[in-house]
Each structure stands twice: as C-alpha cells, then as structure tokens.
Chain A
C-alpha cells in the first residue's frame, strides 16, 4: 500500500516528483514503487483482456502485459539516454529509466481505470474484432497520456543542462515515436492477449503479419468490408 502512494504523488504533484528525480532524491525507492504499482495494474488489465478466452489466457495475459511494457522500456531506454547525452544532457541512465517508468506507471493506472469499461464490454458484446479495437484504442489513449508525462518530466529533469535543450526536446519527440513502434511490435510478438475465441489457448502465436495490417483488417471486418480468415 505504501508503494501505491507514489501514484498520488505522480498524478497530483508531478512537478515535485520530476524535480526529485532531477535531484536524484530517493530514485531507488521511487523506481521500486513504480515497478510494483505498474506491474500490479498491468497484470489486472491483462487478466481482464484474457478472460474473454479462457482462464489460462487470463493468467497468461496477466503475466505478458507487464512484460510488454517493461521489455519495451529495456529496449528503448538506452537510445533515449545516449541521444540525450549526445545533445548535452547530464542525466544518468537511472534518471532516464525512472522517467520512462513514470510514463509506464501513468499508462498503467489509466489502463486500470479502464478495466470496468473493458469488463462491461466483455460481458455485453460478442464482437471479437470490436473488442480488440476497443482495447487497442484504450492502450493508445493511455500510452499517449503516459508519454506526455514523460515529455513534461524530461523538460524538467533535463533543464539542468541548458545546452542543446531544443535538440533534446526533439530527441524526446522522436523517441516517443520509436517507443510506439517498438511497443506495438512487442505487443504483436507477445500476442495473443485477448485470444481468438475459435482458437485453442496459445502462450505465443506464431510470428507473421504485423500489428498495423491486423488492425486495418479488424477495422475492415468491423465496418463490413471483408472477413478476417
């Protein structure tokens, strides 16, 4: 419960939180609290997603959802760090990771806030493609809010090194794009999260296709243009 207190600080006193990250105050404790919070929230959201298919899928998605975000963090944080250093930042890698974790935590708490809505649609609709697109939309909105937090945090934390501040802002913007691409590909690699109802439970589905083509196909089916086979 003590670890969950970090959520209030992030949501209500974010600037003070970012200043503390900038000053390196209690970074370890903050990161631990954010990790625990985001893993818990993402696991619950994942469990709701997987419940459409089976109990095994619910358990699998509860494990895979935190992995999706944390693996994306691990893959993308060095790029942000080294590009920031290149443009005059004096932050440490730990500070960078703490900032990205803040974004993930915000995303996770927003996803958690959407769980009653997801559960409602799970119980009242039977359109697989609709349910999939609904969750893609929810993840996109929550993820976007998360990276907005990251952008704000970065502007405060990197203020100490004034040189190249504008370049670093651009680095963050481009990195957000990269983060989105890596995240979507990671989600595609770790799929299924919902589990197609006519298919048996699979921990991972064979690779092939891509996230964007699948979303377009789902949209096409939802709008009645064609059937996804």
Chain B
C-alpha cells in the first residue's frame, strides 16, 4: 500500500488490525447476501458464521489515505528552467595543497628512480623479477650462480663468456636475476660462444670460460653449428693475451701459435 504524505511506518499491530477489519467487512457482506430470501449459499463459503456486525471491532486509528496534495513532479535539474546553481563555495586554496602534493610526488618519483645498487638498479625495480617477467625469446636470466643464460625457444642457452655477452649486444641492465627454481623450469639449449679471429691469422678460436679453443678446420666449424656471423674480429694482441684451452676436437693436436 503506498504511503500517504506524512504517514509513518505502520506497526505490525496496525497492519493486522487493518487486515482483520477487511475480513470482518467481507464476512458481514456475505451474511447479508445469505439472509436475502432465495439466495443460494455461496460455494466458496467455508468456516463458521461470522459474528454480527455489532461485534465489529472499533476501527483503529489508521491514518486515512489522504488525497495527495499537488506538488512539483521533481526539482529542476541542472540546466532546466527554474534551476538555480548552488551558492558559490568559499575558497579553500586547493592550489596550494596541489602544488605541495605535486612536489612531493615528483620528489618520490625521482627518489624511486635513483640507482641504489652497484648494478644501477633503482628502488622501483628492486623487487625480485621472476613474477614480473614475460617469457619470451631473448630474455636474459641469471640464477644464484655466475652463469648467464638467454632464452631461445623456451630453452636456456648459456652465454659462455663476457665477450659473447657483449657480442650479443647485452648490458647488465638486461639481466634478470631470478630464483634457481625459475631457471629449472626450462630445458638447457646449446651454449652461446663467441668466436674470435684476428686479421693476421686464418685461425678461428672459440672463447669458453675466458680460454680460447682453436677450431681445427671448417668442417669442425660447421659441425659445431657455428656460422660466420658468430665470428668477432679482434686484435691479434688481444687474442694472444687469452690463454689456450683444449682444441676442438680435443684430439686436434697443439693449437697453432699466433705470430
């Protein structure tokens, strides 16, 4: 039942009284109908006869449904006719707060970007990487050991030397230090070696663990899966300064000495 203006919430008692009154009215009307001569009893009549109308309970003081007073359908919305903007709010000098807030945030942004480790890692990028990473080819990873790997076709390829690392155009900032368990998710692929050659010598050497390994001939070179693009030209002096490792293949004999 819709509320009339000014009507308060009805209590349970009031509602029950209301329902009872309605029932009594209905039963008395039915009895009057039965009292008429020749009247058929109504088929749906069930239950004992209702008390006479004299037994009717006094009507509780329920506020009657008063006709609604004519009111405005709604307040005019902004932009509608008759609408008035709310009064001008007094200034609170928000711009001062904004300037202070801006300066504080700018200082924080600078602060979190200042490198704080010897590898140039800032506070903003100090969190362990492994949950941040998008797994893709070219991802450079390092576990707790010194080995650095590059991901290719979901295989970890060990970068065998610093020269190889540089030859690939990598810098320390590319290396993501992760948990060893993260590295264990991937299979190992072929290592990445850098091949060194100097202009005055026909020989090609493979750099591994800071030792140069002489590659005996072109057949071995190809059999090892190397391509010419892997060969890096360096000065003969630099090449001479690198200690010799075992040749490739290992039964190839004594490595030739650079002049």
A residues sitting closer than 8 Å to B (CB atoms) are: 1-2, 4-5, 7-8, 11-13, 15-16, 18-19, 40-41, 44, 47-48, 51-55, 58, 109, 112, 115-116, 119, 122-128, 152, 155-159, 196-200, 227-229
Contacts and interface: CB of A to CB of B under 8 A. Distances in A.
B259 interface: no
B92 A4 contact: no
A8 B94 contact: yes
B139 to A, nearest CB: 5
A155 B95 contact: no
A18 B85 CA distance: 10
Interface string B119-139: 000111101111111111001
A196 B106 CA distance: 23
5 contacts: A5-B94, A8-B91, A18-B78, A116-B105, A158-B79
A86 B110 CA distance: 49
Interface in B83-104: 85-86, 88-89, 91-96, 98-99, 101-102
Contact of B86 (A15, A51, A53, A198): A15
Chain A interface SS verdict (over half) = helix
Contact of B95 (A4, A124, A198): A4
A200 B174 contact: yes
A123 B134 contact: no
A187 B79 CA distance: 34
B190 to A, nearest CB: 21
Contacts of A125: 127
Contact of B88 (A16, A52, A228): A16
Nearest to A229: B135
Nearest to B139: A198
Given A155-B79, A197-B129, A228-B134, A123 B94 contact: no
Contact of B124 (A109, A123, A155, A198): A123
A8 B108 contact: no
A11 B80 CA distance: 21
Nearest to A12: B89
A199 B135 CA distance: 10
B131 A126 contact: yes
Residue from B77, B78, B176 having most chain A Cβ neighbours under 10 A: B78
A198 B135 contact: yes
Nearest to B101: A112
Given A7-B98, A44-B106, A51-B112, A197 B133 contact: yes
A227 B135 contact: yes
Contact of A7 (B80, B94, B112): B94
Q: Which 3 A-B pairs have the closest CB atoms?
A: A159-B79, A15-B85, A8-B94
A226 B12 CA distance: 56
Given A12-B92, A15-B78, A197-B176, A48 B98 contact: no
Given A51-B124, A119-B112, A128-B131, 11 more contacts: A8-B93, A40-B102, A51-B112, A109-B98, A125-B127, A128-B133, A152-B78, A198-B135, A198-B139, A200-B174, A229-B134
B177 to A, nearest CB: 12
Contacts of A47: 106, 109
